Chains A and B, each alone.
Chain A
């Protein structure tokens, strides 16, 4: 009984011990905050990665892809049975994006992805990331009239018409050749060869529907090899392409490709839906490497808030892309695809499904991978970072443990006389020891309990804290353009919190063992002799 009473009294009267408590508290709070933010970060990122990437993908190792998406899908259904609940074919091609902004051309390296608007929603949440609300419901590569929301007030057909009219007026004033569809300054741009021209020994211009060329010099006639394009190129286009009324093939840009933030945090756009861009990409089926550059009209932006995706992914209609790249066999009409994306039934192990696919499809030609495989380096990096951070932070608490050790030793010296008195009253060595062990434990309890509360409060109000720190320091702490997220994501895992608190408490107890043993060994006479 005296042990509890004395523990409690020591706790209340030894303010020096508060120093230990505070260090334990801060250590625990830091660990909880860091872990919550890290796991929130990881969790959110996984969520987003997974929403853009499908659960499982079977892709061609070759550049040209494989023919017959339907046949492959049937085969997959045969292999995986009910485990697969959705499938969609995709075409992936590395590409260069040219954006005309003012008088300059901005070139970005992108991945051009052809998706099937009909089946894509069954596999990924891509359409949920569209800016236009109707596209969120049903993705369409047709430009919408307007209604892109407050972030893009002047977009869509209304913007396109206005811009085309102004360009026409400008052309009339300066008497230049009609800079029909080009954004402002396109007249200058037509002199500058598109960046893609460097790689394009054959311009797809002629097959690319004459009107599109209005903005640039007519390229030489196409190589005959661009066969499949002929279908498209031969489409009768009697009238001149009128950007006021017509659009190029629709494209959805990752929002980070055409937006940036000013240092004040305002969002600015280089392009908006309704503007045209040029995309250069490889053709397939060529003996020679051949690239084409083609015009597209931005119909929407996708914003997954994963800057890795938002700054790289550009989506077009898969049929359009297949046709442009010459992936459709002119005789059979069977189109090639690069990959089949799959959504698995809830609870199915993606690794198991992957193995089944690997066993079925010849690995020399097909690669099956889960979304985790695709993001392995990143996920591993996050995991590693978390482990190392935890080790480092736990060391902080261990340092607090040494503080407890030092201060406890002092308290034992200070309490020498009292220990002698307790022993003269019949307290056993074990009893005296347990006073100090109990004291250590209660310090740990108070410290880590306080730390837990502090940490959880911090996590709960992390945005407030961020703003306060930004206000005080005058600089942005969490820059959404650098990080993947607009807000600091947090995820409190009760198990982790429990571990942290228990760890801190055991450190406090371990640190008090030595002083407690010293107290227990004290001879009562020695404790009482000198006064």
Chain B
């Protein structure tokens, strides 16, 4: 398959070790018109390079190029006591580079689960998750750890900042995880400057030394966004980012996300139950009884 050589989908050097998706059955479909996101995330840009792909794109979005992230036939169920609860029952979804996708649904409809599966925090019972061409649901724990660190940024409804660390240290955490102690020390100054700049860009320049408990909800979410961005992710996964905030603060957070998406071409997948928030996205999918029921545009 020469397409693999030409696209490699990615400039993600680490994907070299990922198992390649089976080539059979995929019809080559070129999307030469796929818009290259105007980003300074270089790998994201390269992944958008016009190419032939082994993936068949969904009918829902034929205008876009190759999916950056996609799931096919995802099933996931949880055991609750003796009962098995099927949360996802064959979900197919594709996310394109530079897209701002909102996943809506009622509580318990499986939106968060889907997001976790996309972010490799969990494994599906059945179905496959692809990052570009590479299947990522069955890779080793080590590769998933690296993927989460390198490729995805995540923000949560409850911010999930580490309470022992200051805002700056929280933002630096992904870099501390990525680099060895020595590597971190040698780069500490540069990284700190960058973290500070990120905090300033989300309007938290005055709260750098504060611990999470000294911050308001909105400030914590901003810090969480800065943390998600420091590792230069290609995809931002946001789990109800405004769910715990008042309307005004939520609007500010959404503004930040939209700006990131628009100005930096960051792919954002956001889970929300709030239709008003969801409609600010480029595209909205709804999860009903474990399936992608309705697809609309924001």
B169's contact among A5, A431, A523, by CB below 8 Å, is which? A5
Check B160 for interface membership: any CB of A closer than 8 A: yes
Q: Which of B113, B121, B141, B157 has the most CB of A within 10 A?
A: B121
B119 on the interface (CB 8 Å rule)?
yes
- Bound CA–CA A424/B177 (angstroms): 11
Docked complex Cα distance between A405 and B190 (Å): 39
For the A-B complex, the count of residue pairs with Cβ-Cβ distances under 8 Å equals 81
Q: B213 to chain A: closest CB distance in Å?
A: 11
29 A-B pairs within 8 Å (CB atoms) are namely A1-B177, A1-B184, A2-B176, A2-B177, A4-B181, A5-B176, A6-B164, A417-B160, A418-B160, A421-B161, A422-B173, A424-B121, A424-B154, A425-B149, A425-B154, A425-B227, A426-B145, A426-B147, A426-B174, A426-B177, A426-B178, A426-B231, A523-B122, A524-B116, A524-B121, A525-B113, A525-B116, A528-B116, A531-B158
Find chain B residues with CB under 8 A from A429 CB.
141
Which residues of chain B have a CB within 8 Å of any CB of chain A?
A: 112-113, 116, 119, 121-122, 141-142, 145-150, 154, 156-158, 160-165, 169, 173-174, 176-181, 184-185, 227, 231
Shortest CB-to-CB span from A370 to chain B, Å, is: 57
A428 touches B145 (CB 8 A): yes
Tell whether, in the assembled complex, residue B157 and residue A422 are in contact, meaning their CB atoms are under 8 Å apart.
no
| Minimum distance in angstroms from B28 CB to a CB of chain A | 34
Which residue from chain A places its CB closest to the CB of B146 in the assembled complex? Answer: A426
- Which of B119, B150, B158, B179 is in CB contact (< 8 Å) with A424? B119
For chain A, residues 161 to 195, give those with C-beta under 8 angstroms from any C-beta of chain B: none
Select one of B113, B150, B157 contacting A426, CB under 8 A. Answer: B150
Q: Would B165 and A1 count as touching, CB distance under 8 A?
A: no
B146, A421: Cβ atoms under 8 Å? no
Q: Are B122 and A525 in contact (CB under 8 A)?
A: yes
Which of A421, A423, A528, A529 is within 8 Å of B162, CB to CB? A421
Select from chain B the residue with minimum beta-carbon distance to A14. B164
Q: With A2-B177, A525-B121 given, is the CB distance from A426 to B160 under 8 Å?
A: no
Count chain A CB atoms within 10 A of each CB in B146, B162, B179 and give the residue with the most: B162
By a beta-carbon cutoff of 8 Å, the part of chain A in contact with chain B is 1-2, 4-6, 9-10, 13, 417-418, 420-429, 431, 523-525, 528-529, 531
Distance to closest chain A CB from B242 (angstroms) = 15
Whether B158 lies near A427 (C-beta < 8 A) is no
Residues of B within 8 Å of A427, CB to CB, are 145, 149, 177
State the Cβ distance, A14 to closest chain B Cβ, in Å.
9
Within the complex, the shortest CB–CB distance from B179 to chain A, in Å, comes to 7
B271 to chain A: closest CB distance in Å? 13
Contact of A1 among B141, B164, B180 (CB under 8 A): B180
Whether A421 contacts B178 by the Cβ 8 Å rule is no
Smallest Cβ-Cβ distance to B180: which chain A residue: A1
CB distance from B239 to the nearest CB of A (A): 8
Residues of chain A contacted by B142 (CB below 8 angstroms): 428
Which one of A5, A10, A417, A425 has the greatest number of beta carbons of chain B within 10 Å? A425
- Given A2-B176, A422-B177, A425-B174, A528 and B160 contact (CB-CB distance below 8 Å): yes
In whole Å, how far is B40's beta carbon from the nearest beta carbon of chain A? Answer: 21
The residue on B at minimum CB distance from A427 is: B177
A10 CA / B162 CA spacing, docked (Å): 11
Cβ contact within 8 Å between A425 and B157: no
CB distance from A360 to the nearest CB of B (A): 69
- Residue from the set B141, B148, B157 with the largest chain A CB neighbour count within 10 Å: B148
A424 to B148, CA, bound (A): 6
A13 to B184 alpha-carbon distance, docked (Å): 24
Across the interface, name the chain A residue whose C-beta is closest to B78: A529
- By a CB distance below 8 angstroms, the chain B residues around A13 are 164
